[in-house]
Amino acid sequence: MKVLLFLGCTVQTEQYAYELSVRSVLPKLGVELIDMPESNCCGYPVKSISPMAWAYMAGRLMAIAEREGLPLLTLCNGCHLSLTELKWALTEQPDLLDKLNELLEPEGLKLEGKTEVIHVLELLYERLGPEAIREHLARELRGLRLAAHYGCHLLRPSTLGRPDDPENPRKLDELIEALGASPVDYPGKLDCCGSGLAPFHGREAMKMVGWKLLEAKKAGVDALVVMCPFCMKMLDGKQTVASRLVGQDVGLPVVYYTQLLGLAMGMSPGELGLELNLSPVERLLAKMGVKM
């Protein structure tokens, strides 16, 4: 299948490991990635202060995807929620489509609001499926205990239709299981990474990172597996400061699911950007007998 790859701000400007692993893994699973001819921020960061600025930016992305005639693949939970919510807003507010087209028309764009918006989790679970993924594995990740972190915006609010159950999500767990590893439930599974709080109350956001990681560590897992660049930025990137703030060592390997999948498909850590993770991923690699 062919999809239009929308990176979004965070992946494109700093979370390069996600992009590297997506570009390495998905084509090998038969997904043709088409780079967007042009794009912009999904609008989510300004949504609360200016709903129209958000709607224009999200609508513009959808109009580009409509012109290309392809489904829009998002890597970020925030982008996925933003675009999904716009589709919902278009059905709730009948005059919004006209307002947006007034803005888009001078740019030669036209919006219908019908673009399919797919998150990587949906692509892997619904479109490909755990069974099909298993056929591409070079090795089984037997013996690994892994904690799934879905991220708030992938699950809530369920009224908009999110990729998995808001209180008992299973799809990422099943995808982990498909690699031969054991998905482990832990008390903080649905807890937030704190990234939405970080611009306003940095210290408290870092404490949220710390507590979340401690919950996973208490469950005795080898790593935490994420699917969103914001979650990664917090849970992988802020472990040193989080340890200091909660007064305990919260160090735990954190990886993108696409990195884990790539390793199971026999790819090298380099191809998957693993040297860009800031958490102690070498512990996980050592367990798998893989050299950095």
Q: Is 204 in the site for other proteins (CB under 8 A)?
A: yes
Binding part of the chain for other proteins, among 8-16, 67-75, 114-122, 257-265 by CB under 8 A, reads 8-16
Q: Is 278 in the site for other proteins (CB under 8 A)?
A: yes
Q: Is 12 in the site for other proteins (CB under 8 A)?
A: yes
Print the binding letters for residues 213-252 with other proteins: x by CB under 8 A, - otherwise. Answer: ----------------------------------------
Choosing from 116, 134, 211, 290, the residue that interacts with other proteins (CB under 8 A) is 211
Distance CA 25, CA 75 (A): 13
Q: Which residues 136-175 are close enough to bind other proteins by CB under 8 A?
A: 152-153, 155-158, 166-167
Distance CA 272, CA 268 (A): 7
Choosing from 46, 161, 218, 286, the residue that interacts with other proteins (CB under 8 A) is 46
Residue 9 C-beta: closest distance to other proteins, Å: 4
Distance CA 259, CA 262 (A): 5
Select 101 or 182, whichever has its Cβ closest to other proteins. Answer: 101
Cβ-Cβ contacts under 8 Å for 53 (sequence gap 6 or more): 43, 46
Choosing from 32, 112, 140, 275, the residue that interacts with other proteins (CB under 8 A) is 275
Determine the distance from the C-alpha atom of residue 214 to the mean position of all C-alpha atoms in its chain, rounded to a whole number.
Answer: 21
Select 77 or 128, whichever has its Cβ closest to other proteins. Answer: 77
In the DSSP assignment, the letter for residue 46 is G
Task: Please return the burial class of 291, using the count of CB atoms within 10 Å of its CB with bins 0-12, 13-18 and 19+.
Answer: exposed
245 within 8 A of 206, measured Cβ to Cβ: yes
Q: Is 47 in the site for other proteins (CB under 8 A)?
A: yes
- Tokens 């482990």 belong to 184
Helix spans in 69-186 (H): 77-92, 96-104, 120-122, 130-134, 152-155, 171-178
Residue 142 C-beta: closest distance to other proteins, Å: 26
Distance CA 172, CA 121 (A): 7
Cβ-Cβ contacts under 8 Å for 268 (sequence gap 6 or more): none
Helix/strand/coil for 57? helix
Q: Is 103 in the site for other proteins (CB under 8 A)?
A: yes
Choosing from 1, 97, 137, 197, the residue that interacts with other proteins (CB under 8 A) is 197
Given the rule CB under 8 A, which residues bind other proteins? Answer: 7, 9-10, 12-14, 16, 19-20, 23, 35-41, 45-53, 56-57, 60, 93, 103, 106-107, 152-153, 155-158, 166-167, 190-192, 194-197, 199-201, 204-205, 207-208, 211, 273, 275-278, 281-282, 292
